[in-house]
Structure 1
Amino acid sequence: MSGLRKLIPLADRVLVKRAVPVTQTAGGVFLPESSTKKEPEAEVVAVGPGRRDQNGNIVPMTVEVGDKVLLPEYGGQAVQFGDEEFQLFRNDDILGKYQ
């Protein structure tokens, strides 16, 4: 995680870590990787300062570090840190946040 402190998203970008998909049923049966899909839920790891409007004012971000968010099925830029994978999304691409 020390590498994450070095990456600060620019403008209105958000760095997230997707939730781990379920690979085992409640009965103990392991599911094959082909049947598991990407979870639409993620945790915000880092946020940028926000984008600038036409007057040069910074538009604040709608999410904060630690928020649980709902992501679109496709999109985002994958970023690899060691053996962990994160994704960068624009603030506008995030569909919602959980409370």
Structure 2
Amino acid sequence: MKFRPLHDRVLIRRVAPEGKTTGGIIIPDAAQEKPMEGEIVAVGPGVRGEKGAVVPLDVKPGDRILFGKWSGSEIKLDGKDLLIMSESDIMGIIDSPAVAKKAA
């Protein structure tokens, strides 16, 4: 099934959290919080501006993002747990090359 969000909505798949801390302690699944990081699966066309023109979104499918802990609505689509939320609920885009350089 294909799904296309409307207006400024985005469809997000949560990224699985690390099962280990930086110190090497393994965290059981029951004790882990839901991650606030995800990957955008689909985006809507954008929201209409004051002059009636469609303003495109700043995010695109494939972007890794951070969002608020209680943001969005959880849905199940084709057996997958996803989130749908407004673009304004997204806090920022994670630039993966910068993260890789910082870790090295």
Bucket of the pairwise TM-score, normalised by the shorter protein: 0.7 to 0.9
Q: TM-score, normalized by length of structure 1?
A: 0.83
Task: Structure 1: state its 5+ residue gaps.
Answer: none
8 Å CA contact 1:22–1:36 kept in 2: the answer is no
- Aligned alpha-carbon RMSD (Å): 1.9
Runs of 4+ off more than 3 Å: 22-30
| 1:31–1:45 CA distance, 2 compared to 1 (3 A) | same
Instruction: Give the structure with the larger strand fraction.
Output: 2
What's 2:28 paired with?
Answer: 31
More divergent stretch after superposition (36-45 vs 24-33): 24-33
SS in 1 for 2:47: coil
The answer as to 2:12 corresponding to 1:12 is no
| 1:27–1:13 CA distance, 2 compared to 1 (3 A) | same
What's 1:91 paired with?
Answer: 87
Q: Cα offset for 1:80? A: 0.2
Alignment partner of 1:21 out of 17, 25, 35: 17
Q: TM-score, normalized by length of structure 2?
A: 0.80
The answer as to 2:59 corresponding to 1:56 is no
